[in-house]
Amino acid sequence: MVKNNLKSERKYYIDNLRWACILLLVPFHAAMAWNCWGEGNYIWFQENKGLSSFITLISPWYMPLLFVLAGMSARYSLKKRTMKDFAKERIKKLLLPFFIGEVTIVAAITYYADRFHNNYEGSFFNHYGTFFTKFTDLTGYDGGWTPAHLWFLLYLFIISFVALGIIRIQKRFFRGFSCKNIKMYGIYLLGVFPAVGSYFLDIGGKSIGMYMVLYLIGYYVLAEDIIVEKVAKYRVWNLAIMIVADILDVYMFVWKENANGAVNTIMMYITLWFGILTIIGFAQKEFNFVNGVTRYLTSHSFQIYIIHFVWVVAFQFYFDKATDNIWILYVVPIILSYVMTIVTCEILEKGKTIV
């Protein structure tokens, strides 16, 4: 294990947080089959408040954190490459995988959804006729086209290019702009902006406006070492606030069924912001290292993100035919999905080598 010098260019805790969040998606997506707030899913069994509590506990911060990390990574990336090269990389790393993933992974997910919900009996290849022609609510739960979990790649691609324009303008007209001297109370107040941004370009409950704000906060604020040091200094305090807000959010949303919508929403956004600050603060101190395992997970994180969901859905679909035990339907598909996702990554890697 190699500890990273905080003054060096590579911030390993950013890489490590990225793959950790992506690995967390496997139990998250598996648990969605038991959500108790009426949201559809590719596979859905029944309501379970325990698993729904787990989903609600992590959902306020884990995807927002990925956009903050993307903004931070962009700041470091643009120090060593041109905007043109960065844009080309975004096309290669985000847009092309989005299209490839749509016609392979997502098509397979909707195939299983159509079989589960609508008793579709045709072949996978025949199902492409449905996938490419059926446009309803864009969730894909009925077998039609959907961006599915790859919405993240599409949003990040769009946001990356819009942000490049903002950064270009800033560098031209506000060259001396810096957030290095922002006080801790100012960092806390920044949490208001994602909440405001959430009202802009909200598509299916996923706001481009909010994620754009988080990306830019990552780029301009949390990519500053001195800011991260401040955040790390107050990490225990931030954790306490996060835990209280998160528990209240879960209690009101899951167990009291959104008894107080306004307070519930406030708790969710407090959890979002203080969750991000807490995790980055602890990661900078405790997760800032590199070894063989972290290198592998870092280099395969986007592959794991794209691939994992189809295995979760497939295993839950087939295990449902053999048992109705909730823990077998939840735990075993999680374990097998981790294994098969890595196996799939290795097969793809070997395929590239052969070609």
Comparing 72-76, 203-207, 226-230, the range with the smallest average pLDDT is 203-207
DSSP secondary-structure letter at 257? S
Distance (Å, rounded) from C-alpha 89 to C-alpha 102? Answer: 19
**Residue-wise pLDDT tens digits, 286-344:** 999 999 999 999 999 999 999 999 999 999 999 999 999 999 999 999 999 999 999 99
Asked if the structure places residue 351 within a domain, the reply is: yes
pLDDT of 106 > 50? The answer is yes
User: Would 47 be classed as within a structural domain?
Assistant: yes
pLDDT of residue 258: 58
Residue 262 located in a structural domain: no
d(CA 265, CA 348): 42
Can you give the pTM of this predicted structure? 0.93
Residue 214 lies in a domain: no
* 317, part of any domain: yes
CB 170 within 8 A of CB 162: no
Residue 155: pLDDT over 60: yes
Cα gap 162→159, rounded to integer Å: 5
DSSP bridge partners of 203: 206
Q: Please compute the mean of the pLDDT values over residues 235-256 and round it to a whole number.
A: 94
| Closest C-alpha among 242, 245, 243, 239 to residue 283 | 239
The stretches of 32-105 forming alpha helices (DSSP H) are 49-58, 62-77, 83-90, 96-101
Q: Which domain holds residue 300?
A: 1-59+291-355
What average pLDDT does the structure give for the chain?
A: 92
User: At residue 89, does pLDDT exceed 70?
Assistant: yes
- Mean pLDDT of all residues in 252-274: 87
**How many residues would you count in the chain?**
355
Decide if 312 is inside a domain: yes
CB under 8 Å to 23, separation ≥6 — which residues? Answer: 297, 304, 338
Q: Who contacts 10 (Cβ-Cβ below 8 Å, separation ≥6)? A: 4, 76
* Assigned domain for 99 exists: no
257: pLDDT confidence band, cut at 50, 70 and 90?
Answer: low
| Residue 181 three-state SS | coil
Query: Which residue blocks in 177-322 are alpha helix, DSSP H?
Result: 184-189, 192-197, 208-220, 225-233, 235-250, 261-286, 292-299, 301-319
Q: How many domains does the chain have?
A: 1
Percent of the chain at pLDDT > 70 equals 95
In a domain, 241, yes or no: no
